[in-house]
Structure 1
Amino acid sequence: MRITSEVAHSILVKLKKLVNYNINIMNSDGVIVGSTDSSRLHQIHQGALMVFDTKKAIFIYSEDEAHFTGAKPGVNLPIEIQQKIIGCIGVTGEPNDVIQFAQILKVTVEVMLQEMELFNQLQYENKLTEKWVLDFVHPTHFHASKLEADGLHYLNLNFEIKITILLIRFPDLLTSTKHQDMDEVVNSRKKKDERLHLLKTLLPSIVFASFLEDDNCIIAIPPTKNNYQTAADSIHTYFMNQGIKSKIGIGGSYNGIEGYRKSYVEACNSLKLLEKFPKTNGVAHISDWGIITLFQQVPEETLKGFYAQYLPEEVTLNEEQIHTLEVLYANALNMKVTAEELHIHRNTLLYRLDSISKKTGLDPKNFHDALLLRVLLVIKKLTFR
Structure 2
Amino acid sequence: MKKGLLMISARLAQEIAAETSGIIGYNVVITDRDGIVLGSGDPSRVGSFHEASLEVVRTERPAAHGAEQARLLAGVRPGITLPVFLDGEVVGTVGLTGAPTQVRRFGMVVRHQTELLLREASLITSRLVRDKAVTDLLQDITRHDPAIVTQEEVAATARELGFDLRLPRVTLVVDLERVPTERVSAVLRTVHEVFRDAQDVVGAIGRSHIAVLHRFRSGDPLAVAGRAAEALTEAHGPHHRVGVGGIAAGVVELRDSHADALAAVRLASRDGDRAVPVADIAEYRVHQLLATIGVGARARFACSVLGDLPDRPDWDVLRETLMAWAERGFHLVRAAEALHVHRNTLVYRLEKIESILGRSLRDHRHAIAVYLACIAHGQGRG
TM-score normalised over the length of structure 2: 0.84
Q: What is the aligned counterpart of 1:323 among 320, 323, 330?
A: 320
Query: Take 1:288 and 1:13, find their aligned partners in 2: how far apart are those partners?
Result: 60
Task: Return the offset for 1:170.
Answer: 1.3
Query: Take 1:77 and 1:279, find their aligned partners in 2: how far apart are those partners?
Result: 62
Q: How does 1:66-145 map to 2 (within 5 A)?
A: 66-138=71-143, 141-143=145-147
Letter in 2 for 1:258: V
Q: Does 1:159 align with 2:165?
A: yes
Instruction: Specify whether residues 254 and 113 from structure 1 end up closer, same or farther in structure 2 by C-alpha distance, changes over 3 A only.
Output: same
Q: How does 1:331-342 map to 2 (within 5 A)?
A: 331-336=328-333, 338-339=335-336
Task: Return the offset for 1:232.
Answer: 1.9
Query: Take 1:343 and 1:218, find their aligned partners in 2: how far apart are those partners?
Result: 36
Residue matched to 2:3: none
Q: Does 1:146 align with 2:154?
A: no
Q: What is the aligned counterpart of 2:175 among 159, 164, 169?
A: 169
Task: Return the offset for 1:66.
Answer: 3.4
Residue matched to 2:255: 261
Q: What is the aligned counterpart of 1:229 among 198, 222, 228?
A: 222
Q: Does 1:47 align with 2:40?
A: no
Letter in 2 for 1:288: E
Larger mean Cα displacement after TM superposition, 209-218 or 308-317? 308-317
Paired residue secondary structure (1:198): helix
Paired residue secondary structure (2:166): coil
Instruction: Specify whether residues 16 and 92 from structure 1 end up closer, same or farther in structure 2 by C-alpha distance, changes over 3 A only.
Output: closer
Task: Return the offset for 1:218.
Answer: 1.1
Task: Return the offset for 1:377.
Answer: 1.3
Instruction: Specify whether residues 95 and 227 from structure 1 end up closer, same or farther in structure 2 by C-alpha distance, changes over 3 A only.
Output: farther
Letter in 2 for 1:359: I
Paired residue secondary structure (2:211): strand
Does the CA-based 8 Å contact 1:292-1:378 persist in structure 2? yes
Task: Return the offset for 1:194.
Answer: 4.2
Residue matched to 1:202: 194
Query: Take 2:116 and 2:189, find their aligned partners in 1: how far apart are those partners?
Result: 22
Task: Return the offset for 1:128.
Answer: 2.6
Residue matched to 1:184: none
Letter in 1 for 2:171: I
Deviations 1:215-242, CA, capped at 9 Å, x for gaps: 2111111112236333322222122122
Task: Return the offset for 1:336.
Answer: 4.8
Query: Take 1:328 and 1:144, find their aligned partners in 2: how far apart are those partners?
Result: 47
Query: Take 1:46 and 1:235, find their aligned partners in 2: how far apart are those partners?
Result: 57
Residue matched to 1:185: none
Residue matched to 1:375: 372
Task: Return the offset for 1:149.
Answer: 0.8
Does the CA-based 8 Å contact 1:362-1:373 persist in structure 2? no
Query: Take 2:134 and 2:92, find their aligned partners in 1: how far apart are those partners?
Result: 32
Paired residue secondary structure (1:3): coil
Residue matched to 1:239: 232
Q: Structure 2: which 5+ residue stretches go unaligned?
A: 1-5
Larger mean Cα displacement after TM superposition, 207-216 or 29-38? 207-216
Does the CA-based 8 Å contact 1:267-1:286 persist in structure 2? yes
Letter in 2 for 1:91: L
Does the CA-based 8 Å contact 2:142-2:254 persist in structure 1? no
Residue matched to 1:181: none
Task: Return the offset for 1:338.
Answer: 4.9
Task: State how many pairs are aligned.
Answer: 370
User: How well do the aligned residues superpose, as a CA RMSD in angstroms?
Assistant: 3.0
Q: Does 1:58 align with 2:55?
A: no
Letter in 2 for 1:325: L
